[in-house]
Amino acid sequence: MENTKQRKKISMAALRKTLRLYKFMKPYRVEFFTGLFFLFITSLATLAFPKLLGILVDLGTTGQSQHEINHVVLMLAGVLTLQAISSFIRTNMFVRVTSKTLAAIRQHTYSHLIRLPMSFFLKRRVGELNSRISSDISLLEDTLTSTVADFLRTVLIIIGGVTFLFFISAHLTLFMLMVLPVIVIIAIIFGRFIKSFSKKVQQGVADSNTIVEETLQGVQNVKAYANEFFEIGRYTEKTNQVALTGIQGGWYRSWFSAFMIAGMFGAMLAVIWRGTSMIATGQIDAGQLFSFVLYTAFIAGMMGGLADVYARLQKAIGATENLLEILDEPIEKVEPQTPIAPENQLEGNIEFKQVSFRYPSRQDVDVLQNISVKIEANQQIALVGPSGAGKSTIVNLLMNFYEASAGEILFDGKDIRTIPLTALRQQIAVVPQDVFLFGGTIRENIAYGCHKASDEEIIEAAKNANAWSFIQESANGLESIVGERGIQLSGGQRQRVAIARAMLKNPRILILDEATSALDSESERQVQEALEKLMKGRTSIVIAHRLSTIRSADQILVLDFGQIIQQGTHQELVEDISGLYYTLSELQFTS
């Protein structure tokens, strides 16, 4: 009994969650209620039809005049016309409301998703999130357009039909309704099965979309390792599982529909048998029985269709639950970019005080341990050390992608948590090793650093980044398409576009994350020249594996196992022959 109550609570909670999405419909409530009004008119016209047909039968069997018969026929034609017009307006209104509402839901979901913290994206895969914002929201389209309307129309016709039946014959109505409790109980039981299978199908679709997303993003690796058929096998296996789950769910729905049809039309047969007996005893007229049978047929059809409507509602509830999981995640406090207030403008002084950090997904691992360091404005600071030492984590904390587990991070003596996120990130630029370019033009990618930049400013940034020469040689210059993730450009060209982007941003603090480690000698020379221009007059933090690029750094921090084990200039560190920096230096410069 307790489990049954719990399941009921969960179902009601899911329904309440689904209703939350109807707030997006509020601006269009006039059109929505107009659609509901004409839905009501359509349902009334549907209910009037059997009654008028019964009157017509009675007129024929009692030998009434042709004038009276024609009058009823004209009334029937009027009802059909009203039904057609109401149906047109109702459908048009619901489609208009649905289109606008779905656009609002998509915009809100994307706006929420893009403002979620980095800790959220550590737990989720891109393909799954893409499925949530595409296929799950698309499921709601059918629900808002037709499912809700069908459900309301079904309920109205069932209630109205049963009311008319009681007016015709309470005895015969009670006889017909004896099967309803059984149908309702079975509908509840099957509905739970259908909901569970619908959620499994949605999860399976999300997983299969993840495979597509990741393999297309990493198609070069797939082909390099000749794993095309391995990925085909993975996708085939996942989609076959989705199909199997869908077939199993369809099996239950098929049994449900079969039972509903057999049960309701069996009830009609029993009603006709009982009604003919009542005609023989004078308890009911032929026309009344005719109307009664039509109402019963309408109700039976609606009850039979209720299974499919209920299944569609359950499917939408499953999709809504997944969507609301994302919308319930707390977002970062980011704001639209505006001129930075004087109190939030950075000079470039940075201080770490006893900073420790653990990633949310790895709470048992201390990535950083008691880091303390002072960086003065306009200094060039280098971070070196083996992979996993914590270099990139320091950068992530400076960008406030994550909060330190312990200790303080200060900018110009102010706690990082007191500086608005947008103001902080507006004054920091990152040039990573693996540059991400958007699939548009070179101009769009450079202008990403400052959307209001003029052509002259974009060209100046490209020249300073040593990128203007290859841009001029391109067929369309700044309008050249870089392709997905910048695939049309070489590694060095992508780096220089990223440097131009950072130059256009004109940051107070610059972060270089192994920006030249994957380049050939000529590309490295050009990129290094551009980086030296970019680092002038600003605080620069360089993550480097090639120690030759950081000999002139004002301060070098050597990290290992999340701790700073050495600190000093290049000359100071190479003189400590027992230190890790000396070992790394000997290995690189000797080779």
Look at residue 578 in the predicted model and tell me its pLDDT: 78
Tokens of residue 413, six digits: 């003596």
Q: Are 322 and 344 in contact (CB under 8 A)?
A: no
CA distance 27 to 25: 6
Contact (Cβ atoms closer than 8 angstroms) between residue 463 and residue 496:
no
Per mean pLDDT, which range of 44-58, 170-184, 388-402, 419-433 is the poorest? Answer: 170-184
Question: pLDDT tens digits for 280-308?
Answer: 677 777 667 777 777 777 776 676 666 66
If you average pLDDT over residues 133-159, what whole number do you get? 73
Percentage of residues in the chain having pLDDT higher than 70: 80
**CB distance 549 to 516 below 8 Å:** yes
Residue 186 confidence (pLDDT):
65
Q: What is the mean pLDDT of residues 400-408?
A: 88
More confident residue, 551 or 38: 38
* Residues 472, 486: Cα–Cα separation, whole Å: 17
Question: What local confidence, expressed as pLDDT, does residue 353 receive?
Answer: 92
Q: How far apart are CA 238 and CA 85, in angstroms?
A: 46
Other beta carbons within 10 Å of 575: 12
Res. 129 pLDDT band, cuts 50 70 90: confident
- Tell me which of 380-389, 405-414, 439-448, 481-490 is least confident: 481-490
Contact present, 349 and 376 (Cβ < 8 Å): yes
* C-alpha to C-alpha distance for 35 and 584, rounded to whole angstroms: 74
pLDDT tier at 517, thresholds 50, 70, 90: low
Length of the chain: 591
Whole-number pLDDT of residue 133: 73
Distance (Å, rounded) from C-alpha 117 to C-alpha 113?
A: 9
The amino acid present at 121, given as its one-letter code, is: F
| Residue 358, pLDDT score | 87
Mean pLDDT for the chain?
77
Residue 3 in this model has a pLDDT that exceeds 60: no
Query: 3-state DSSP: the chain helix, strand, coil percent, rounded to 5?
Result: 70, 10, 20
Say which residue, 114 or 213, is predicted with more confidence.
114
Predicted confidence (pLDDT) at residue 267 exceeds the cutoff of 70: no
Above pLDDT 90, what percent of the chain?
3
Residue pLDDT, tens place only, 20-41 = 777 787 888 888 888 888 888 8
Amino acid 231: pLDDT = 81
Strand partners, 316: none
Show Cβ contacts of residue 466 under 8 Å, excluding neighbours closer than 6 positions.
Answer: 496, 499, 526, 527, 529, 530
Average pLDDT rounded to a whole number, residues 238-248: 79
Average pLDDT value for residue range 100-118: 84
Residue 35 is predicted with a pLDDT of: 85
Residue 530 clears pLDDT 50, i.e. is over it = yes
| pLDDT score, position 75 | 83
201 has pLDDT over 80: no
pTM above 0.85, yes or no: no
Beta bridge partners of 512: 431, 542
Higher local confidence (pLDDT), 435 or 383: 383
What pairs with residue 560 in β-bridges?
563
pLDDT band with cut points at 50, 70 and 90 for residue 7: very low
* pLDDT value at 10 more than 50: no
Instruction: Characterize the bridge pairing of strands 563-568 and 555-560.
Output: antiparallel
* Token pair belonging to 197: 């299978």
Are 211 and 238 contacting, i.e. CB atoms less than 8 angstroms apart? yes
pLDDT band at 487 (very low <50, low <70, confident <90, very high): confident
Q: Across residues 389-409, what is the average pLDDT?
A: 88
Q: What Å distances lie between residue 331 and 113, 118, 126, 393, 421, CA to CA?
A: 8, 10, 18, 21, 12
Q: Which fold has domain 15-327?
A: ABC transporter transmembrane region fold (1.20.1560)
